Amino acid sequence: MKSLRAILSATVLGVLVLGTASQTFAQQEKMTLEEWQAALDACNQREAAASARISDLEGQIADVRRQISDLDSQVSQVRSEISGLNQQVSSTQGDLTSAKDELERVRFPDSYTVIKGDCLWNIAKKDYIYNDPFKWPRIYEANKDKIKDPDLIYPKQVFTIIRP
C-alpha cells in the first residue's frame, strides 16, 4: 500500500512539474520576433558596454604596471644612493675616530715635563693628566727608573703618563 502511494505521489508530482514547465515554455514561445530582437539587442549592448569597460580597465592596469616599474627603478636608484651614503658615513666615522684619537693624544699627553714646585700629587691632580691626586702612585710606578724618592722630583724630568 505504501509503495502504491509513493508511485501515485511521484506521478502527481511529475505531472505538476511537467505542466508548469510546459506552461513556461508556452509563455516563452508567445514572444514575437520583435521582442526576441529587442532582447538580443539589449544583450549585445550589455556585451559591448562590458567589453568597453574591460578594455578601459586593461588600459588602467597597464598604466599602473608602468607606474610600478617606474617606482621600482626609483627605489633601485635610492638604494644605490643609500649604499653610497653608507660608505661615506663609514669613511667619515673612520676619520672621526682618527681625529678623536689624535685629540685624546694631544689633550692627554703620554708624558709630562716637571716644572719648579711640582710634586707627584699635583701632577696627578691636573685635569689633563689624571684629574685625581690620589693616582700619583701610577706616575711613580711607571717612572721608578727615574724617581728614587717620590717626595723628590726635579724640574725638567720627563715622566711617562700611563693611560687607563
Return the pLDDT at 107.
67
Cell of 155: 724640574
What residues are paired with 113 via a beta bridge?
158
The answer for residues whose C-beta is within 8 angstroms of residue 107's C-beta and 6 or more apart is: 128
Which alpha helices (DSSP H) does the chain contain, by range? Answer: 2-29, 33-107, 120-125, 136-142
* Other Cβ atoms closer than 10 A to 94: 10
How do residues 31-69 score in pLDDT, each as one tens digit?
899 999 999 999 999 999 999 999 999 999 999 999 999
Least confident of 1-15, 78-92, 127-141: 1-15
Span 107-118, average pLDDT:
89
